[in-house]
Amino acid sequence: MAPIRTAIIGLSGSATTSWASSAHLPYLLSARGREKYQIVALCNSSVEAAKRAIEAFKLPPDTKAYGDPQAVANDKDIDLVVVSTRVDVHHSSALPSVKAGKDVYVEWPLAHNASHAKELAEAAKASGSRTLVGNQGRGAPPIVKLRELLQQGKVGKVLSSEIRANGGSVDREALLPGIKYFTDLAIGGNIVTIGVGHLFDQVQHVLGDLQDLQSRLQLQRPNVLLRNPSTKEVVETVKSNVPDLVIIDGALAASQIATEGASVLFRFRRGQPFLGEPPLSWTINGEKGEIRLQAFGGSSLHANSYDAPVTIEVHDFATNEVQKIEWSWQSWQEELPVVARSVGLLYEKFADGVAEGQPTFETALARHEQLAKVLAGWEGK
């Protein structure tokens, strides 16, 4: 099979956040990735910016340079369009290619609000586009292992679950100047949509979709420092309108793995956890035992939580013993940087035509609608 001809919108050599280069390129430019994908075009804010990125990342000189998403959509020699821009231009960057019927991969969040996410999902359904969304945490080995344990009945049916997470930014008081937009809810990229959104999708991928959502939000630290990462100097103080404490509770429907009405409590707080505690602690209480996942390197299992242990343990109620559960990356993933490993798996499954469990525009829309409910009535917006 010929490689999938791929265009990337948003691969920049000068961007503050370089997710496209750090998480997408390592797989796409690996020997394994090149067997399935070929980068044939870049699109940035201008043709000149795209040309500079082609040179910066040493892509082939015949790689096309575009400065307009519509031009990408019009190119008949492009099969897949990858959108890795700031969230508030996801919709405008992706929509032309979706309408053209191309396959489209958009980073999470799919769009900066639920209505634009719905428009993208409906356009893809109408055009027949195959879609993919960057909820790559579904394929993270610890998440896969939790699903396996529950499906195997390791602890019986789920009775309840609690998730306590910290993160969304490295520091509870400060942000990098380049992500100042995290303080503006209207832009759509912030700790609620990104930090909470990724983990919330992973939780429901394991347990099932939550019903009867209720939320409590708080903005504990409205004055956010913008700190130069090199000098540690505070360059600006900005007023945020984004909640930095998100508490969600819901219930599970009866299923193969869960009892009817099993309670799920989710708490996410921006910044560091209590000193010495893991940024992520997730327990799943079952009829016969309890599972505990702890991530000591961060709450971002879809990205960079792996510079410290991520552990899974099972407490068997019958024996009153705790068993440590092992998990591992696939051998080919270990050759990639950590943040590229789960992204690489998304690409692998997409190229192989695997649909089960893959995040799509439809699954992303469901998460957007849930987060809209969580944020409904928030006074800061």
pLDDT score at 229: 86
Residues 19 and 55 in one domain: yes
Residue 25 falls inside a structural domain: yes
Whether residue 111 has pLDDT greater than 50: yes
Q: Which domain holds residue 226?
A: 137-327
Whether residue 298 has pLDDT greater than 80: yes
Contacts of residue 277, Cβ cutoff 8 Å, sequence gap at least 6: none
Residue 358 falls inside a structural domain: no
Q: What is d(CA 109, CA 197) in angstroms, rounded to the nearest whole number?
A: 8
User: Can you tell me the mean pLDDT for 34-57?
Assistant: 96
Q: What is d(CA 178, CA 189) in angstroms, rounded to the nearest whole number?
A: 12
Residues 180 and 128 in one domain: no
Residues 127 and 171 in one domain: no
Tokens representing 50 are 């795209």
Whether residue 22 has pLDDT greater than 90: yes
Residues 67 and 108 in one domain: yes
**380 confidence band (pLDDT: 50, 70, 90):** low
Q: What is d(CA 37, CA 180) in angstroms, rounded to the nearest whole number?
A: 34
Residues 117 and 160 in one domain: no
Tokens representing 71 are 């031009």
Quote the distance between the C-alpha of residue 148 and its chain's center. Answer: 21
> Each residue of 307-351: pLDDT tens digit?
999 999 999 999 999 999 999 999 999 999 999 999 999 999 999
Residues 174 and 116 in one domain: no
Indicate the residue type of 198: H
User: Can you tell me the mean pLDDT for 86-101?
Assistant: 97
Three state DSSP letters for 331-348: CCHHHCCHHHHHHHHHHH
Instruction: Give φ, ψ of 177 to 5 degrees.
Output: -55, -35
Residue 34 falls inside a structural domain: yes
Stronger pLDDT, 380 or 73, i.e. the higher one? 73
> Each residue of 185-234: pLDDT tens digit?
999 999 999 999 999 999 999 999 999 999 999 999 999 999 998 888 99
Q: What is d(CA 35, CA 23) in angstroms, rounded to the nearest whole number?
A: 18
Residue 121 falls inside a structural domain: yes
Residues 159 and 296 in one domain: yes
pLDDT score at 230: 87
pLDDT score at 16: 46
User: Can you tell me the mean pLDDT for 47-60?
Assistant: 96
pLDDT score at 8: 98
Whether residue 13 has pLDDT greater than 80: no
Residue 46 falls inside a structural domain: yes
Share of the chain above pLDDT 90, in %: 94
Which CATH number fits the domain that encloses residue 246? 3.30.360.10
pLDDT score at 18: 84
> Each residue of 227-264: pLDDT tens digit?
998 888 999 999 999 999 999 999 999 999 999 999 99
Residue 337 falls inside a structural domain: no
Q: Would you say 42 and 63 are in contact if contact means Cβ atoms under 8 Å apart?
A: yes
Weakest mean pLDDT among 56-70, 138-152, 190-204, 226-240: 226-240
pLDDT score at 377: 83
Stronger pLDDT, 8 or 379, i.e. the higher one? 8
pLDDT score at 379: 64
**15 confidence band (pLDDT: 50, 70, 90):** low
Residues 61 and 170 in one domain: no
**12 confidence band (pLDDT: 50, 70, 90):** confident
Residues 126 and 204 in one domain: no
Give me the chain's average pLDDT, please.
96
Residues 128 and 165 in one domain: no
Residues 298 and 150 in one domain: yes
- Of 327, 347, 368, which closes a domain? 327
C-alpha distances in angstroms, 175 versus 183, 263, 352?
Answer: 9, 34, 39
- Of 134, 165, 200, which closes a domain? 134
Which CATH number fits the domain that encloses residue 105? 3.40.50.720
> Each residue of 173-182: pLDDT tens digit?
999 998 999 9
How many structural domains does the chain have? 2
Residue 192 falls inside a structural domain: yes
Weakest mean pLDDT among 9-23, 281-295, 320-334: 9-23
- Of 288, 309, 327, which closes a domain? 327
Residue 24 falls inside a structural domain: yes
Residues 22 and 109 in one domain: yes
